[in-house]
Amino acid sequence: MTVTREHVMSALSQVMDPEIPSLSIVDLGMVGDVMIDGDSVRVDLIPTFLGCPALDLIQRNVERALSETSVTVRWVHERPWSSSMISRHGRQALTEWGVAPPSDTEEVVCPFCGSCNTSHQSPFGHSLCKALYYCQDCSQPFEKIKTI
């Protein structure tokens, strides 16, 4: 089998973020580079946060997704991850999962009802990359991916 970039990216698009299973690491913007040499593949991943407890799990899932190749996964730190790296599809997946995507404005839109009548409750949600908000209109608490 000839390994192509399309094959590798297709496999990587099936590796989901452990916290948000509707969001792939590709749409999250974690795939920094893919190098192919015959049936050997090197995947460079960019961690969203250095202290993320899911990095080992993500690496194992990438290795499993590309198990028919000789795969090497590297975590690279030369280029930091930014919330602007989340794709449009990824932002939509976040909203559908009930998490507000990062934004460049102060306005935080509730992923449940679309209201902007929201209030900041805590700088941290259940992980360091999220903040906790509350919607005054639909009474739902929700998390928002921090803009980094």
- Give domain status of residue 90, yes or no: no
- Its pTM stands at 0.90
Question: pLDDT digits over 129-143, tens only?
Answer: 899 999 999 999 999
Domain count of the chain? 2
User: Closest Cα partner for 29 from 119, 101, 114?
Assistant: 101
- Give domain status of residue 56, yes or no: yes
Which residues sit opposite 143 in a β-bridge?
99, 132
Identify whether residues 106 and 67 lie together within a single domain.
no
DSSP annotation string for 101-120: PP-SSS----TTT--S-EEE
Phi, psi of 75 (to 5 degrees): -95, 120
Domain ranges, residue 66: 5-75
CATH code of residue 49: 3.30.300.130
Would the pLDDT of 1 be above 70? no
- Give domain status of residue 89, yes or no: no
Q: Is 41 exposed, middle or buried (0-12, 13-18, 19+ CB in 10 A)?
A: buried
Ranges of H-type helices in 23-141: 25-28, 55-65, 88-97
Average pLDDT over residues 116-120: 97
